[in-house]
Amino acid sequence: MTDLHAAVARAVDALRAGELVAFPTETVYGLGADAASVDAVGRLYEVKGRPADHPVIVHIAHAAQLDELARDVPGEARLLAEAFWPGPLTIVLRRDLGRVVPEVTGERDTVGLRVPDHPIALELLEAFGGGVAAPSANRFGRVSPTTAAHVRADLGMDVRVVLDGGPCRVGVESTIVDVTSREPAILRIGGVSRGEVEAVVGRACASRTSGETAAPGTFESHYAPRTDVELAELVAVADRARSLIARNLRIGLLAAAPVPADLPESLVVLAAPSDADDYARVLYARLREADELELDRLLVVVPPASDGLAAAVADRVRRAAHTRRT
Ligand code: TXA
Ligand code: MG
């Protein structure tokens, strides 16, 4: 048995013992607990520092488990599962009251389900057999981890097993689609685009944030580094940087290459790749870098967002900017 398989086996034992394990997915790293154990889920919320009314996604190995964990599964959910699983899509369904403890979903009668597209996650889920409740493996309200090192930096000794699958391929969280109402609603844009979802269900989807019902007031402030984030337009960024630097602030810039030539010298440039998918992949690592560099503010130019991962990047940066103090 290779080291990795042995580590997965240890992680399965830990899950069965009600402990927490961190594992890679294609989007971000997850912090997993047995979704059928009240104690394990309680520990998960405690370590994560998450309000009890904020629901957690349940990860499964196969679409065939849909009917074990959810009930009244509509045809549109099956189409979505077939089209995108394994992959970066979470489907919110009516919860089967037996298999997922109500603590997982903040006492809601719905549950978010996802089959992640990562060999280590799938090996873990397959071997464990049941649903694994897993939010992103960061403390509540902070930037999601996209490497095992990020997980260790955030959660340290609070998580015994961290499965290392290298950097996440997508880099931003899954798209969440709620199919429990008459009209499907996108609650969070992520690894699957709105256009792709709408093509599969064959109609337009509404937009809602899960924060409207989940945790009023807290959802907007998600995904934020400690550094203040300010959205900027590429054409205006040099002037904006100069005026902030004149106030003696340490300023950084995150923008796709090529950046303007006339930037002030003391501006710390964290260049992002010009391709939107590559930008998404590095976004959270760059936000963490801004914290490590102890910048006072990070100016962020987002890729033009029509749909796809550019829209997810714009969404996360807008949320990060929402908490800015000045
Ligand atoms: O890509 C992802 O989705 C990652 C990886 C680990 O799978 N997970 C993730 O989980 O981002 P978390 O807990 O950080 O974000 C889950 C979001 C929350 O905003 C929560 O409100 C929403 O999913 N959610 C989960 N279950 C829900 C439900 N039953 N109804 C509405 N929203 C739900
Ligand atoms: Mg999260």
> Is a pLDDT exceeding 80 seen at residue 221?
no
Task: Report percent pLDDT > 70 for the chain.
Answer: 94
| Lowest mean pLDDT across 95-104, 136-145, 171-180 | 95-104
175 lines ligand 1 (CB under 6 A): no
Residue with tokens 């995108």: 84
Ligand nearest to the CA of 215: 1
Residue with tokens 């849909």: 66
Question: What separation in Å is there between the alpha carbon of 272 and the centre of ligand 2?
Answer: 22
What pLDDT is recorded for position 304?
A: 87
106 lines ligand 1 (CB under 6 A): no
65 lines ligand 1 (CB under 6 A): no
Q: Say if CB 229 and CB 297 are below 8 A apart.
A: yes
Q: Which two tokens stand for residue 236?
A: 């205006």
d(CA 168, CA 116): 12
Task: Read off the pLDDT band of 223 (50, 70, 90).
Answer: confident
> Is a pLDDT exceeding 90 seen at residue 196?
yes
Question: What average pLDDT does the chain have?
Answer: 93
Question: What separation in Å is there between the alpha carbon of 271 and the centre of ligand 1?
Answer: 29
138 lines ligand 1 (CB under 6 A): no
What pLDDT is recorded for position 214?
A: 44
Calculate the alpha carbon distances from 296 to 67, 237, 244, 263 in Å. 49, 16, 10, 17
> Is a pLDDT exceeding 80 seen at residue 137?
yes
Ligand nearest to the CA of 222: 2
pLDDT greater at residue 229 or residue 305 = 229
Q: Which of 47, 56, 124, 138 to mutate to test the pocket of ligand 1 (most atoms within 8 A of CB)?
A: 56
d(CA 322, CA 82): 36
d(CA 199, CA 204): 8
Q: What is the mean pLDDT of residues 120-133?
A: 97
Ligand nearest to the CA of 91: 1
Q: Say if CB 148 and CB 165 are below 8 A apart.
A: yes
Question: What separation in Å is there between the alpha carbon of 25 and the centre of ligand 1?
Answer: 13
C-beta neighbour count of 276 within 10 angstroms: 23
> Is a pLDDT exceeding 50 seen at residue 310?
yes
125 lines ligand 1 (CB under 6 A): no
What pLDDT is recorded for position 274?
A: 92
> Is a pLDDT exceeding 80 seen at residue 320?
yes
Quick one: which atom of ligand 1 is closest to the CA of 211?
21
Q: Say if CB 20 and CB 40 are below 8 A apart.
A: yes
Question: What separation in Å is there between the alpha carbon of 250 and the centre of ligand 1?
Answer: 34
d(CA 46, CA 68): 27
Question: What separation in Å is there between the alpha carbon of 249 and the centre of ligand 1?
Answer: 35
User: What pLDDT, in 10s, does the model give residues 19-70?
Assistant: 999 999 999 999 999 999 999 999 999 999 989 899 999 999 999 999 999 9
Maximum distance among all Cα pairs of the chain, rounded to whole angstroms: 61
| Lowest mean pLDDT across 114-128, 136-150, 165-179, 198-212 | 198-212
> Is a pLDDT exceeding 60 seen at residue 213?
no
